[in-house]
């Protein structure tokens, strides 16, 4: 069966510090991978998606970036965090576009 | 641009009552998903609706899709406290767009 992991589970970082969140998927090959952000009490905003190694599409211009160094690994990064980057970051995978997405446990980021 | 609207955004109901959550979307699609999110937790897939007229039921929840009306409904029958959560619909065109969510509270 497929599983999706995210770490860390929670993170508190000062403004201006760097960020690296990791997402890994097990039990499937060549998944589509997605990064979402959820602000407190709000819906989900798609940040990035990837259809393969090294292939990243950005939905929202911002100070975040994503990379996919391996087939089942998706990383969300920032060089300098802003207060507005606080939120719940969710990674998801699907077998292809238009198919059900499965979500990881999430990382709660607080920028102070 | 695809817009997905849910209503109501907040719903407080008593145990045993019935209610319906609505999800409207602006662009033709025959793929609609319902997710549940408990406070502080990730999203859990509830229903996948892939054709006009699709109806799926799980326990006290039933979801339907009318692609011509661009409308999906999530019907709650005889609500119980365990159903308290936020429910999201999502529509997939070229990528998944989520509604703002309906925060459901079921009171005894």
Contacts of B43 in chain A (CB under 8 A): 44, 90, 92, 103
Position A99 scores a pLDDT of 79
User: Which 3 state secondary structure label does DSSP give A109?
Assistant: strand
Per-residue pLDDT averaged across A84-108, rounded? 90
Q: How many CB atoms lie within 10 A of CB A25?
A: 21
Contacts of A108 in chain B (CB under 8 A): 40
Position B35 scores a pLDDT of 96
Distances (CA, A) of A73 to A60, A93, A98: 21, 11, 21
Distance CA A41, CA B21 (A): 18
Tens digits of residue pLDDT in B66-81: 999 999 999 999 999 9
Contacts of B41 in chain A (CB under 8 A): 105-106
Alpha-carbon torsion (A9, A94, A62, A21), positive or negative: positive
Residue (of A42, A87, A40) closest to A62 by Cα position: A87
Position A97 scores a pLDDT of 65
In whole numbers, what is the pLDDT of chain A averaged over residues?
A: 93
**Six-digit token pair at B90?**
């999502």
Distance CA A97, CA B94 (A): 7
Tell me the pLDDT band of A98, cut-offs 50, 70 and 90: low
Instruction: Kindly state the percentage of chain A with pLDDT values over 70.
Output: 97
In whole numbers, what is the pLDDT of chain B averaged over residues?
A: 93
Q: What is the DSSP string of A49-84?
A: EEEETTEEEESS-SSEEEEEEETTEEEEEESS--GG
The segments of chain B whose pLDDT lies below 50 read none
**Six-digit token pair at A41?**
């009490």
Position A69 scores a pLDDT of 96
Position A61 scores a pLDDT of 64
Q: Which of residues 56-75 of B touch A (CB under 8 A)?
A: none
Owner of token pair 């990674």: A91
């Amino acid at each position: 069966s497929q599983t999706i992991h995210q770490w860390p589970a929670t993170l508190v970082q000062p403004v201006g510090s760097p960020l690296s969140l990791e997402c890994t998927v097990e039990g499937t090959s060549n998944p589509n991978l997605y990064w979402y952000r959820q602000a407190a009490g709000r819906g989900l905003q798609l940040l990035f998606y990837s259809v393969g190694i090294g292939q990243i599409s950005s939905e929202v211009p911002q100070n975040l970036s994503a990379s996919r160094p391996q087939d089942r690994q998706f990383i969300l990064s920032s060089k300098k965090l802003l207060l507005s980057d606080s939120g719940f970051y969710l990674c998801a995978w699907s077998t292809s576009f238009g198919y059900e997405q499965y979500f990881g446990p999430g990382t709660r980021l607080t920028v102070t | 641009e695809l817009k997905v609207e849910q209503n109501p955004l907040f719903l407080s109901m008593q145990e045993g009552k019935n209610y319906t959550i609505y999800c409207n979307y602006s662009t033709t699609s025959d793929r609609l998903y319902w997710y549940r999110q408990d406070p502080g937790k990730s999203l859990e897939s509830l229903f996948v609706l892939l054709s006009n007229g699709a109806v799926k039921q799980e326990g006290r929840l039933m979801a339907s899709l009318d692609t011509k009306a661009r409308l999906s409904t999530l019907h709650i029958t005889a609500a119980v406290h365990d159903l308290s959560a936020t429910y999201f619909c999502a529509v997939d065109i070229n990528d998944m767009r989520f509604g703002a969510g309906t925060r459901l509270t079921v009171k005894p």
